[in-house]
Structure 1
């Protein structure tokens, strides 16, 4: 059983523009994870990708982010980057804005975790091959204990999701379903 006082649930990239593409019906496991965390006094931290007006963070050498800057979306005030209402943060639950794929890169996530004494991360997010993979790798390098909630991770490619969840992630994290994780909290 995890030391709950030192754990945090990261809800990553569950923002309007992404949820609208994948369908709100797929968000139920995220809602269940948030509810379980709150019931067990585990902090919930929301992560979103957003940029400043003018995209000073988007290098022309970065294939993904330079494309975003040419479309004129994904700025911090844009509706597409706000946390989806289905998992709406409560007052006091931080929303961390990141500038790259990993939740750590260009954000103050590590400062928040360190100030709260958090050493265990419960990961959920969209996409499994994006924010979840990048954050897991960086968190492992930073010596966090990690759990990935397999059904609270989504990817546009089901086979990539399967390979990551079944073969790659178990090398650095415990992989559980939301219901399996909730059982560890009892």
Structure 2
């Protein structure tokens, strides 16, 4: 089990590598760079970049334990055919017209080079904040027998939390890794982490990366 709040994960004590995935949300250049979407909206991307070492350690531990790794990327088609009028209006309002920011054709759509993406990893491309909406994410998880999800990435209050809520509603067992998630808004980050634990874990549990890595190391030892 993994030491967590408000209870250790998973609740029934049965953590199995083959049924578990580490979900790395949107660690793309558009959110992490000083010229990407996040920075253009006036947010400081440095808190997002600060979690990269912890995420890298988690990925390494997950690989060693035999846990699946899923990366998500947010962005629209190059022709913007999948973008609603409201989303186009927000894009103009943000001064992004004429740029490739948040488009799948742009360099900012790619995952940051600091993140190790292996050929066997799963990549889910999405247009919405939640990774389940209009994607094959759930189908892939069900096909692989994955029932337990460990969340990290950015941003805590938007894409991480939206995907977490979607997962909980689909009866996945969820753990959010507190020091491997980040937001440009400190208050929103803290509120999002707090919301995980309310009502005795309505959105699963909260743990730090050290506890998760320790738990994953025990899975790896069992496999050997």
TM-score of the superposition, structure 2-length normalised?
0.77
Q: How does 1:136-155 map to 2 (within 5 A)?
A: 136-155=164-183
Note the C-alpha offset of 1:91. Answer: 1.0
1:109 and 2:137 equivalent? yes
* Matching of residue 81 in structure 1 with residue 109 in structure 2: yes
- Say if 2:51 and 2:179, in contact at 8 Å, map to a contact too: no
Residue-by-residue CA offset, 1:62-113 (whole Å, 9 max, x unaligned): 4656757735322222110101111131112121101100011122211211
Shift, 1:173, TM fit = 1.2
Distance in 2 separating the partners of 1:131 and 1:64 = 17
Structure 1: give runs of 5+ residues left out of the alignment.
none
**Structure 2 unaligned blocks of 5 or more:** 2-14, 35-44, 219-224
1:66–1:140 Cα change, 3 Å: farther
Looking at structure 2, the residues matched to 147 and 39 of structure 1 have their Cα atoms a distance apart, in angstroms, of: 19
Q: After superposition, what is the alpha-carbon deviation per residue over 1:1-50, rounded to whole angstroms, capped at 9, x for unaligned?
A: 22222010111100112111424443111111111111111011110002
* Secondary structure of 1:86's aligned partner: coil
Distance 2:17 2:128 in 1: 28
What is the alpha-carbon distance in structure 2 between the residues aligned to residue 127 and residue 147 of structure 1?
A: 16
Aligned residue number for residue 45 of structure 1 = 70
Q: With structure 1 as the length reference, what TM-score do the two structures score?
A: 0.91
8 Å contact from structure 2 (residues 70, 122) kept in 1: yes
Report which structure shows greater RCO (CA 8 Å, sep ≥6): 2
SS at match of 1:70: coil
Figure out how many residues of one structure are paired with residues of the other and give that number. 185
CA change 1:143–1:67 in 2 (3 A) is farther
> In 1, Cα distance between the equivalents of 2:138 and 2:93?
28
Question: Is 1:178 aligned to residue 206 of structure 2?
Answer: no
